[in-house]
Amino acid sequence: MVHELSIYQGDSIQVIEAIKLQASISPLGLTVNNVALQKGEQQLALQGEIAAAFPYPIKLNIHWQSTLNDKQQLRGEGSVSGNLHTLNIQHQLLSPYVLHTKGELALAVDDAVMQIDPDTISVDIHNQWPQTRIAVGADDSLQSQGQLDIKGRFDRYVLSFNSRLAAQQKNGTAPQNNGAAPTKATPTNPPESLVQTALAKPSHISINVQGNKRYISLHKAVIEKSASRRIRQDGVIVLLEDLTETELLEEELAHSERLASIGRLAAGVAHEIGNPITGIACLAQNIRDETQNDELRTMARQIIEQTDRTSRIVQSLVNFAHSGSYLSLIHI
């Protein structure tokens, strides 16, 4: 048994308070009777077997629990079986909600060098949760059930999400909504359906998919029970519309309008500066041509050189205003 094991990672230190190991080793492999690790409010226990020959067949049972900063406890159990080529995973989150997870992890290990390329790792994971109550406020809750599937590689994967949400009040009944707009909850006016309130108006959301921002529009249509019984129950149709191309075009148009405004400003500045500079250059040329004083002629030539430089800058501003050429401005 090991106490106070410190692991240094750069400037950070990870301290494992206790490690308890009970295992036996034979030519056939390693049998783990019990491995228990404790770090603060986090605990992990392992039992199982690991074979001694490649591809190292493995079978482990896992039990863990952890307490978050808000004192909420997480607890789960599962198993890992397979080998270095393929691992089968089964897990069940027990608290605070129930979540079943099972799937396969393909490692694609290189037998020659015993190396795993992270880019070749692929997953096929299926998550499912039964009807679960999620508290929202003191008197309301959401009933949720559904599944989430993840398939593909870490840099290219597909998410499949299917869920059903229903609102429920403290007395166990669903809030009524007779087509009226959502209203503020009061003691005499029960709160509207949380789901219908969230979908009462079309909404726009943005998400990141593999590092790229996508813009999604969310629409809702209510299906009411038909008197002819062709529609036997109420329902809601939710439409997700990808508006990414439209949003990008609008952003590009806004950027173009900003450039146009800058161009108009540059043209105005060029006009206001150009006129007095021309007058100064003319006066300097007169001094240079009419005086015999060498010092004044030198000063006049310097003034002309600076006015010429200023004129080139002004001309670049004019070019920028007409064509948006930024390079002509910065290479003066």
Give the number of other Cβ atoms within 10 Å of residue 300's Cβ.
Answer: 20
Question: With contact defined as beta carbons under 8 Å apart, do 167 and 186 qualify?
Answer: no
Residue 80, pLDDT > 80, answer: yes
Helix axes 294-323, 244-290, angle to 10 degrees: 160
**Rounded CA gap, 265 and 257, in Å?**
12
* pLDDT value of residue 165: 67
End-to-end CA distance of the chain: 73
- Give mean pLDDT, residues 50-79: 87
Q: For residues 280 and 170, what is the distance between their CA atoms, to the nearest angstrom?
A: 84
Rounded to the nearest angstrom, the gap between the alpha carbon of residue 25 and the centroid of all alpha carbons in its chain is: 45
Could you tell me if 97 and 129 are in contact, meaning their C-beta atoms sit under 8 angstroms apart?
yes
Choose the most confident range, by mean pLDDT, from 18-32, 73-87, 221-235, 306-320. Answer: 73-87
Cis peptide leading into 55, omega within 30 of 0? yes
pLDDT in tens, 135-174: 665 666 677 788 889 888 877 778 787 777 666 655 555 5
Predicted local confidence at residue 63, as pLDDT? 92
Q: 245 in helix, strand or coil? A: helix
pLDDT at 291 over 70: yes
Four-point Cα dihedral 13, 14, 17, 23, nearest 10: -130
DSSP 38-86: EETTEEEEEEEEEESSTT--EEEEEEEEEE-TTS-EEEEEEEEEE-SSE
Q: How far is CA 255 from CA 103, 245, 262, 317, in A?
A: 46, 15, 11, 19
Measured CA to CA in angstroms, residue 163 lies from 97, 99, 137, 306 at distances of 15, 13, 21, 72
Report CA dihedral (10, 15, 19, 24) to the nearest 10 degrees.
0
pLDDT, tens digit (0-9, with 9 covering 90-100), for 214-241: 888 877 776 766 655 665 556 667 777 8
- Which residues are within 8 A (CB) of 239 and not within 5 positions of it... i.e. 6 or more apart? 218, 219, 220, 221
pLDDT band at residue 62 under the 50/70/90 scheme: very high
pLDDT band at 101 (very low <50, low <70, confident <90, very high): very high
Q: Which of 171-180, 231-240, 250-259, 262-271 is the least confident region?
A: 171-180
Q: pLDDT by residue (tens digit) across 188-212?
A: 333 344 455 555 566 667 776 666 7
Q: 10 Å Cβ neighbour count for 314?
A: 20
* C-alpha–C-alpha distance, residues 284 and 299, integer Å: 8
Find the helix or strand (DSSP H, E) in which 241 lies: strand 235-242
Q: Where are the domains of the chain?
A: 197-242, 250-330
Helix (H, G, I), strand (E, B) or coil at 252: helix
